[in-house]
Amino acid sequence: MKHENTLYEVLGLSPRASTEVIRAAYRCLAQHHHPDKNAGAAVANDRQALMNRAYAVLSDPHQRDVYDLRIGLNHSFFDRRGVPLATPRNGASGVAGQTMSRPFAFRPL
């Protein structure tokens, strides 16, 4: 029996990923695995179609919520908006309680 990857695994993301991170990961993978750059690779078209589907679902908040429920993710377990900061770091300007996302760093598969 073949293991089915989740749409998060297709894009190499955590279920906690923000919309900006999803977009950046998709664009990076789309450039790297584009069928025109991989001429003669029969799986390139299939891989691109799977990445397009993953991005279409995960970039739409409603479709993403439906997908998360379908695969059994518990929404009360995580928050996608970042971690609240009690105080600004290193004298940086900011408001206490402001949320900040971790910076995106993509590692190709």
Tokens representing residue 92 in the block: 């940086």
Q: Is 54 domain-assigned?
A: yes
For 53-81, what is each residue's pLDDT tens digit?
Answer: 999 999 999 999 999 999 888 665 544 44
Q: Is 51 domain-assigned?
A: yes
Low-confidence ranges of the chain (pLDDT < 50): 1-3, 78-88, 93-101
Q: Is 108 domain-assigned?
A: no
Q: Is 2 domain-assigned?
A: no
Range of the domain at 62: 7-100
pLDDT for position 73: 81
Question: DSSP readout, 6-52?
Answer: PHHHHTT--TT--HHHHHHHHHHHHHHT-TTTSTT-HHHHHHHHHHH
pLDDT for position 46: 86
3-class state of residue 57 by DSSP: helix
Q: Is 19 domain-assigned?
A: yes
Into how many domains does the chain fold?
1
Q: Is 107 domain-assigned?
A: no
Q: What is the CATH number of the domain that holds 65?
A: 1.10.287.110
Q: Is 96 domain-assigned?
A: yes
pLDDT for position 76: 56
Q: Is the pTM of this model over 0.75?
A: no
